[in-house]
Chains A and B, each alone.
Chain A
Amino acid sequence: MSESAPASNSRQVPIALSIGALFSLSFIAIPLIYLIRRALESDGRSISILVWRPKTLEVLITTLSLTAVVVVLATVIGVAMAWSLHSVKIPLPNLFRALVILPIAIPSYVFTFSWISVFPQISGFWAAVFILVLSTTPYVLLAALAGLRRVDWSQYEVAQTLGLNNWESFLRVTWPQIRNSVAAGALLVALYVLSDFGAVALLGVDTFTRAISNLYRGSFDRSTAAVLALILVIISAIIISLETRLRTKTKLQRTSARIIRLPNLISKTRTKLISILLLVIYLATGLVFPLALLFYRFFANAVQVDYSELFSASISTIFASALGALIALALALPLGLLVMQGSWLARVADKGVLIVHALPGIVMGLALVSFGSEISWLYQSVGLLAFSYALLYTAKSVGSVRTSLARVPQNLIDISATLGQTKMQTLRRVVFPLAAPGVLSGSLLVFLSAMKELPATLMLRPTGFETLATEMWRYTSISRFSEAAPYALFLVLIAAIPTFLINRPDKGESEEGDMR
């Protein structure tokens, strides 16, 4: 392709990108191939007993209804909070904006333990709904916020002058414009619920992920567990395609990256009070309560904290998770660029990333054990651990990469080409700078999720490599919560730093990408 390639050639897919996408695709295939291989080892009879027993239907119904209820509630609460943060004049908006993301950093087993140690009677379906809504709402909230930032408020005001009230204007003007972003966030919530083990196990709710773990634990039956995991894969594929269908094909037309009119912040007292109340209740239940409980247990039974262990576990956590986020970015970038250009290959890989995201950590762990133990220099290295994080969580960054890239106006790319810039130069000097903030916030989500990952970490870390999550497990598994407290606290503190950086108050409207 000549240097002065006209813009019309941009549909041609650069070969390097395709190779990158092929790599991503083959990595994603590792756990799926593993599952199929294991499933094929089992005899047909025991598979049919397992699949056709009444319990499987029960587990299916429980899994689907839990997912549906959590998605609906998290979406309503997440959108409401996003709207409050975006368009209501509340005090300390940037502090709130950073704090409401932090529950993502609290592992669901810690979350659940903190609640059941105070209210031991809670268990079952609705308790799981409660816990999972608390831990997943930030995904919708982030997506909705990103969507809201792209809404041109002048339309909203036009709606108001045409006689619609606030609620009607939101429904008819704002909602259609943020719907796609919100749906993407809701999808992440659904996949989170499908793959969660901590909350459902402790609260006694039989989802597929719990059934799969019970099979591994109870009977070491890897092939029937693989069959169940494949059913889970099918369920997630269906949910993913549902979301794709829900997405409307509207394209926002804009001529530059920043021409949006921001809303005049609503300062009506009642709206303000309700908004603040909502945010405060969420933070109290989702962040303050679990941390306060850990503190309480810590001080009630004070033990010597081993600071050097705490420090080295923090460093290891940051290192492995950040490396995971980088690998995830390397997997997501070619996919994002290709999806933008309409490549089918990238679209397939894009969906694959999401399916893999719904796999329970133990399945991913065993898949990579099976694959990695063949390669002795790679096995139980930080690299393989980080790679497992990337596979598990690329879904959280691939969307933000894609939408951030899609938001780079085509005419700027065309102008760059007419000014004699090569494709690479255009990417480097026009596309990446505009897409960077969104990409960064997607990587943050990968980082936060990787920090608390436990089952795959236990299997894949180098022997003796302790992260904050494994240190917490070391104590919680023998019910020593007081000793786990400092590690949980550090997990949240470390999560807070990049979260605040991305929400820097001095940057005003910091552009966060949505997640897909």
Chain B
Amino acid sequence: MTFKAVKSRFSLILAFIMTAGIISGCSSTSTEGDSLTVYSGQHEEFMEPLFEAFTAETGIKLDVRYGDSAALAAQILEEGENSPADVFLSQDAGSLGAVGAAGLIRELSADLLNRVPSIYQSVTKDWVGITGRARVFAYAPDRVASLPTSIDDLVTKTWNGRVGIAPTNGSFQAFVSAMIQERGAAATEIWLQGIKNNNPKIYEKNSQIVEAVDAGQIDLGLVNHYYVWEVSEELGRDINAKIGFFQPGDMGNLINVSGGSILKQSKKESLANQLLAYLLSDEVQKSYVTDTHEYSLVFADLKPADLPALSEIKAPAIDLSTLAGLKATQELLVKVGLI
């Protein structure tokens, strides 16, 4: 290759970069009128239609940055007071709690907080739950004759080598934190050790567990309830995995929430308020149940198809705001050797 060739190719590349820059520059959003910057750990696929409807209704433009909830929380922690975000929406209570513990989000108005029962919001009133996700077990109906009634059944010999868990996943860790809160660290360690001794299969994500149940690698796995739909929708067919609940009141039936908060440094509190109020409105709460198969926190009796209603599950009463970053949880999981 001669230098001339390289040079002409180089200028070609440069020209291309500049054109690309101009094109992508043009498509960037202008910030006229009212606008809000939203950091959303809730998925684009589900949120985009809601956000568009919100903008159409209120005229408030939204600049949404999607990401993994925990990574967005870490980002907000790094940005501190310089954060461009006005609203932080998270998939789980833990990420909201971490940002709250750093004092970066503000107390919400009573109007917002009163929409949902107080167990689904922060005790310091700086975040509010939006939807509920139930911890359940996914199982293969043809291979599981009698369903477990309690999380404690899973440490018995019957389940040796048949169970899948995702111990590095936030949803599993939130469950362990809840167990520590309810039963204490010593009892939780015994349960974790029991699970460990039962040779569970370890996965990174909930969806992998559901796929593994469907594929016959495991008979039962601990997941959030909506993953069974998610996997079935992806594969475009019915899958050999069903949702099961432990008996009402059992530790295994934890309800975790997705939620929203307003950043302390935001100068647009009233606009941000409008957005959270919209997400908690009757109409949107109903659409969550039908579209994303999540639980509404406003209507305790609405239920995703074929599932018991939130009011029937009788989840253990856990302080969700303390599920964030429990060092004890990580330490226990490390000690037992599950992560």
Q: 0/1 per residue, B1-18, Cβ < 8 Å to A?
A: 101011101100100110
Are the CB atoms of A216 and B28 closer together than 8 Å? no
Q: Is A511 an interface residue (CB 8 A)?
A: yes
Q: Are B230 and A478 in contact (CB under 8 A)?
A: yes
In angstroms, Cα B335 to Cα A53, docked, is: 9
* 0 or 1 for each of B301-339: is its CB under 8 Å from A? (1 = yes): 000000000000000000000001111011000100101
Q: Please tell me if A392 contacts chain B, counting CB pairs below 8 Å.
A: no
When the two chains form their complex, are residues A369 and B234 in contact, meaning their CB atoms are under 8 A apart? no
Partner-B contacts on A (CB < 8 A): 46, 53, 55, 116-117, 120-121, 123, 201-202, 204, 206, 210, 214-222, 300-301, 312, 315-316, 318-319, 322-323, 326, 362, 365-366, 369-370, 373-374, 376, 379-380, 382, 432-434, 436-437, 440, 455, 458-459, 462-465, 470, 474-475, 477-482, 501-502, 504, 507, 510-511
Q: Is B27 a contact partner of A440 (Cβ separation < 8 A)?
A: no
B33 adjacent to chain A (CB < 8 Å)? no
Chain A residues within 8 Å of B37, by CB:
463
CA distance A120 to B202 in the complex (A): 12
Q: B180: shortest Cβ distance to chain A, in Å?
A: 13
CB distance B17 to A480 under 8 Å? Answer: no
Report B223 CB to chain A, min CB distance, Å.
12
* Contact residues in A for B84 (Cβ distance below 8 Å): 373, 376, 379-380, 463
**In the complex, which of the residues A219, A323, A477 has the most CB atoms of chain B within 10 Å of its own CB atom?**
A219
Interface pairs (5), CB distance under 8 Å: A318-B20, A322-B20, A373-B78, A477-B43, A504-B1
- Is B235 among interface residues, defined by CB-CB distance under 8 A? yes
Query: In the complex the two chains form, what is the Cα distance from A436 to B8 in whole Å?
Result: 12
Complex CA distance for A365 and B337, rounded to whole angstroms:
29
Contacts of B70 in A (CB 8 A): 216-218, 220
Judge whether B3 and A53 touch: CB under 8 Å.
Answer: no
Interface centre among B5, B21, B74, B330 (most CB of A within 10 A): B74
Instruction: Tell me if B211 is interfacial: C-beta within 8 Å of chain A.
Output: yes
Given the contacts A300-B236, A318-B16, A501 and B79 also touching, CB distance less than 8 Å: no
B260 at the interface (CB under 8 A from A): no
Q: Does B82 lie within 8 Å of A374, measured CB to CB? A: yes
Given contacts A315-B23, A369-B78, A382-B24, list 14 more A-B pairs with CB under 8 A: A55-B337, A216-B74, A217-B168, A312-B23, A318-B16, A379-B84, A382-B21, A436-B10, A437-B6, A464-B28, A479-B234, A480-B45, A480-B233, A481-B234
Given that A220-B74, A382-B24, A464-B28 are contacting pairs, would A479 and B231 also be in contact in the complex, using a CB cutoff of 8 Å? yes
User: Can you name the residue of chain A whose Cβ is closest to the Cβ of B29?
Assistant: A464
B66 CB–A CB distance under 8 Å: yes
Cα of A219 to Cα of B329 in the assembled complex, Å:
9
Q: Select which of A369, A478, A482, A507 is within 8 A of B75 by beta carbon.
A: A369
A382, A462, A463, A481: which has the most chain B beta carbons within 10 Å?
A463
Residues of B with C-beta under 8 A to A432: 3
Instruction: For the complex, give the distance between the alpha carbons of A436 and B45 in Å.
Output: 45
CB distance from B102 to the nearest CB of A (A): 9
Is the pair A217, B170 in contact by a Cβ cutoff of 8 Å?
A: yes
Inter-chain contact A436/B64, CB cutoff 8 Å: no
Contact B71 A373 (CB under 8 A): no
Chain B nearest Cβ from A455, distance in angstroms = 7
**From A120, A218, A366, A462, residue with most partner B Cβ within 10 Å:** A218
Give A256 Cβ to nearest chain B Cβ, in Å.
15
Distance, CA A216 to CA B71, complexed state (A): 7
B73 and A220 within 8 A (CB): yes
Q: How far is the CB of A480 from chain B (nearest CB, A)?
A: 5
Complex interface bits, B190-229 against A, C-beta within 8 A gives 1, otherwise 0:
0000000000001111011001100101000000000000
Q: Given A202-B204, A326-B17, A474-B44, decide whether A510 and B71 contact each other with a Cβ distance below 8 A.
A: no
Residues of chain B contacted by A479 (CB below 8 angstroms): 205, 207, 211, 230-231, 234
When C-beta atoms are compared, the residue in chain A nearest to B201 turns out to be A123
Q: Which residues of A contact B7 (CB under 8 A)?
A: 436
Complex contacts, B205 vs chain A, CB 8 Å? 202, 479
Query: What are the residues of chain A within 8 A of B1 when measuring CB–CB?
Result: 436-437, 502, 504, 507, 510-511
| Chain B nearest CB, measured from A373 CB (Å) | 4
| Given A204-B202, A373-B82, A322 and B77 contact (CB-CB distance below 8 Å) | no
The answer to whether residues A373 and B80 also contact, given A120-B212, A464-B64, A479-B230 and a CB cut-off of 8 A, is: yes
Q: Which of B45, B64, B324 has the most CB of A within 10 A?
A: B45
Say whether B63 contacts A463, CB under 8 Å.
yes
Which residues of B come within 8 Å of A, CB atoms? Answer: 1, 3, 5-7, 9-10, 13, 16-17, 20-21, 23-24, 27-29, 37, 43-45, 63-68, 70-71, 73-75, 77-80, 82-84, 95, 98, 168, 170, 173, 202-205, 207-208, 211-212, 215, 217, 230-231, 233-236, 324-327, 329-330, 334, 337, 339
The residues of B that contact A373 with a CB separation of less than 8 Å are 78-80, 82-84
Across the interface, which residues of A come within 8 angstroms of B29, CB to CB? 463-464
Q: Which of B6, B217, B234 has the most CB of A within 10 A?
A: B234
Q: Which residue of B lies closest to A322 (CB)?
A: B17
Identity of the chain A residue whose Cβ is nearest the Cβ of B215 in the assembled complex: A120
Give the complex CA separation of A341 and B327 in angstroms. Answer: 51
Contacts of B211 in A (CB 8 A): 117, 120, 479
Q: Are B339 and A214 in contact (CB under 8 A)?
A: yes
Nearest chain A CB to B16 CB, angstrom units? 7
Chain A residues with CB below 8 A from B10, complex form:
436, 440
Query: Do A221 and B75 have beta carbons less than 8 Å apart?
Result: no
In order of increasing CB-CB distance, the 7 nearest A-B pairs are A433-B3, A301-B236, A319-B20, A220-B98, A479-B207, A373-B82, A219-B325
Q: Is the CB of A220 within 8 A of B77?
A: yes
Q: Are A366 and B74 in contact (CB under 8 A)?
A: yes
- Cα A210 to Cα B71 in complex, Å, equals 14
Report the bound CA distance from A376 to B5 in whole Å: 41
**B residues near A459, Cβ cutoff 8 Å:** 67, 71, 75
- What is the bound-complex CA distance between A480 and B231, given in angstroms? 8
- Given A201-B204, A214-B339, A479-B234: A319 and B24 interface contact (C-beta under 8 Å): yes
B71 touches A53 (CB 8 A): no
> Chain B contacts of A319 at CB under 8 A?
17, 20-21, 24
Other-chain residue from A204, A216, A322, A480 in contact with B234 (beta carbon distance below 8 A)? A480
CA distance A214 to B63 in the complex (A): 29
Other-chain contact of A53, B204, B327, B334 (Cβ < 8 Å): B334
Closest beta carbon of chain A to B199's beta carbon, Å: 14
Chain B residues in 8 Å Cβ range of A370 = 78-79
Contacts of B231 in A (CB 8 A): 479
Minimum distance in angstroms from A431 CB to a CB of chain B: 11
CA distance in complex: A210, B327 (Å): 17
Most B CB contacts (10 A, CB to CB) among A374, A437, A474, A478 go to: A478
Q: How far is the CA of A254 from the CA of B27 in the complex (A)?
A: 52
- Across the two chains, which residue of chain B brings its CB closest to A512? B1
Query: Do B43 and A322 touch across chains, with their CB atoms under 8 A apart?
Result: no
Q: Is the CB of A221 within 8 A of B234?
A: no
Is there contact, CB below 8 Å, between A219 and B6?
no
Contact of B173 among A218, A300, A369, A501 (CB under 8 A): A218
Is B334 within 8 A of A55, CB to CB? yes
B79 with A369: CB separation less than 8 A: yes
CA distance A369 to B77 in the complex (A): 10
The CB with the most chain B CB atoms within 10 A, among A436, A455, A475, A482, is that of A436
CA distance A46 to B327 in the complex (A): 10
**B325 adjacent to A221 (CB under 8 Å):** yes
| With known contacts A55-B334, A218-B329, A366–B75 Cβ distance under 8 A | yes
Give chain A nearest CB distance to B214 CB in angstroms: 9
